[in-house]
A and B are shown apart, each in its own frame.
Chain A
């Protein structure tokens, strides 16, 4: 089972990302569970969203305490939430940042495997708005290969209608541009 925790701010679409990826996994015949950190949603406040993907039915009905992957939509959350603190040792940090892996490691002390992409720039270029949730899914897929890129096409279409193509292009661009660096001891 792969457990992924999304860190974002209210309005950035973390919950939507989790739903899209859960649907893509289910579409591939897998089992998935996507849910928000239940609470009164407030725009701009830190939010969590959770995703489990497995080949068998999933019976855990609790939050993800020790994720395999943390996906950080907004780097300003790193100092507040310390998302990698409870990440499994073999876990992956997927981060939206224009900086290089060594800069990020120096700044935040991450030792885990890193996947970095400048999602803000891609989202502005491709979508015309700095909303990075679908873009960051491209980085997540590059780092984990948890579902096929094309499995997201249908869920995107259902969710975004005519805007699905742009979102898929942003995701693909992020997939191509994501830099993955193995863990450092």
Chain B
């Protein structure tokens, strides 16, 4: 499965390989990565594309993820279109550099093949890795299938590199559940990608002939203002994200929104999911509708910047919102997504009650039945009052 995709076409391949082709088609110029399950196939394939001369890029093999992102910063500072990918412990090991990347406003694109954090050691999927990196100041999106992984990888470069955005961007892709699946996807032609995504033109770059200082320290007199500028940029990136997604819709017919709705018309009960849970939930919600139950589905595509207005609009008319998290904030209010959703809805005068179900931790299988079970329990809770801050679905003992 090598060779440059030459024209728009339907292909079958593993999603990780499709992501690596998206990076190739984006004409990434610089990559540094350290292999970690389940991200491995993405960077392995990219490394062979570079080695075979099919992608003209600098590929730096490093000894850790801390170094991977540090090397990416250097290459991005030099003005290169830069990419990396990681998972779980790798993302955790990058943690320090994640903040530096966004604070220095380098438009690096990273795929996170989401995986549970140790201990106990688990190579399987959940969102504990990315939720522990919630506050890193990057743009963050979630995808629900292979096509979206391909699409959002390409769009991420365009969003990140916009001169008014200049923020690193993470595309979250459920490890194994998506990364290791062979499925059908549609590839754009290289010509279309080139027209959509022109070369990166950095305003400032490290250049011995034109020296600049990057990453200078900030005295207390300026630190708050720099943080404020970062917050404003991340918040304002929202409009640019929508514009890029609209442009993509014109090109492909696939239209992405920060909060997406499925069968929500007249729905009194809504599920809210992220990532690959969404398609399984779609199947379950269709079954519920067929039983005459007034149930719909929201999926949160954009995690940062958080789509406050879109979510407030999307829950209108619902009486109950069932938020499905794939991570647990131990000792806290349950799942991080529910925590933020409740926060977002709190100022509304009329709002749905919310309940929080945590599912699919550490690779636990989530079939449509899980959503039926959750619905039954949530409706009971809605009648007789919640039984706790959250419920860990399927837990034994």
Contact = CB atoms under 8 A, between A and B. Distances in A.
Interface of A: 18-19, 22-23, 25-27, 29, 31-36, 38-40, 57-63, 65, 158
A116 B145 CA distance: 36
Contacts of B183: 22, 26, 31-34, 58
Nearest to B174: A61
Interface residues of B, number: 30
B10 A26 contact: yes
Interface in B31-63: 38
Contacts, number: 72
Given A32-B183, A59-B282, A61-B276, 6 more contacts: A25-B12, A26-B10, A35-B182, A38-B38, A39-B123, A57-B184
Contacts of A58: 183
Interface string B139-181: 0000001000000000000000000000000000010111011
Given A22-B12, A62-B365, A35 B180 contact: yes
A158 B1 CA distance: 7
B117 to A, nearest CB: 17
B371 to A, nearest CB: 11
A61 B282 contact: no
B184 A61 contact: no
Contacts of A39: 123
Interface in B273-306: 276-277, 279-280, 282-283
Contacts of A63: 365, 367
A60 B365 contact: no
B368 interface: yes
B314 interface: no
Nearest to B2: A158
Contacts of A31: 183-184
Given A27-B12, A35-B182, A59 B283 contact: yes
A60 B176 contact: no
Nearest to B146: A33
A23 B17 CA distance: 14
Contact of A61 (B10, B13, B280): B280
6 contacts: A23-B12, A26-B183, A27-B12, A58-B183, A60-B279, A62-B365
